[in-house]
């Protein structure tokens, strides 16, 4: 019984619980929002890059066709060179002059039913115009 009385003595040195301000939930929400904004920004940049990648480029298309024209059919080649070469005439005065020179050389291969193959001077003029072009 003696033992019992000793255990029932109240302890006076224990302090009551105090309130602790906890901000970790706010930090977690802030980090989640920041990560979400970064992910959305990266997704937006990838979308813009992909959209611009698929955009049709008339200059690149005409450049590719211009360099794939075969000289075996001079009449068709003359018309194609005239059509696709016109895309690059406004680049500079040199381009416009070279295009006009090429048109003068190609004039005798158009508007006729049967034409002979390109002569060396005409091929040189065409190649000079093609080499001037940059996309």
pLDDT at 54: 77
Q: How many CB atoms lie within 10 A of CB 22?
A: 8
Q: Model confidence over 7-34: pLDDT tens digits?
A: 666 667 777 788 888 889 999 999 999 9
> pTM of the entire structure?
0.60
pLDDT at 9: 67
pLDDT at 47: 93
Integer Rg of the chain from CA: 40
Phi/psi at 98 (nearest 5 deg)?
-65, -35
Q: Where are the domains of the chain?
A: 25-55, 58-132
pLDDT at 7: 63
Tokens 């813009």 found at: 48
Residues of the chain with pLDDT under 70: 1-11, 135
User: Is 98:132 a contact under the CB 8 Å cutoff?
Assistant: yes
């Amino acid at each position: 019984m003696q033992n019992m009385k000793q255990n029932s003595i109240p302890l006076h040195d224990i302090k009551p619980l105090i309130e602790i301000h906890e901000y970790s939930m706010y930090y977690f929400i802030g980090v989640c929002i920041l990560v979400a904004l970064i992910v959305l920004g990266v997704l937006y940049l990838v979308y813009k890059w992909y959209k611009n990648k698929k955009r049709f480029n008339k200059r690149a298309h005409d450049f590719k066709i211009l360099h794939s024209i075969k000289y075996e059919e001079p009449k068709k080649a003359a018309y194609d060179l005239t059509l696709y070469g016109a895309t690059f005439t406004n680049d500079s005065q040199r381009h416009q002059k070279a295009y006009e020179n090429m048109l003068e050389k190609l004039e005798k291969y158009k508007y006729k039913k049967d034409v002979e193959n390109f002569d060396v001077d005409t091929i040189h003029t065409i190649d000079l115009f093609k080499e001037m072009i940059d996309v």
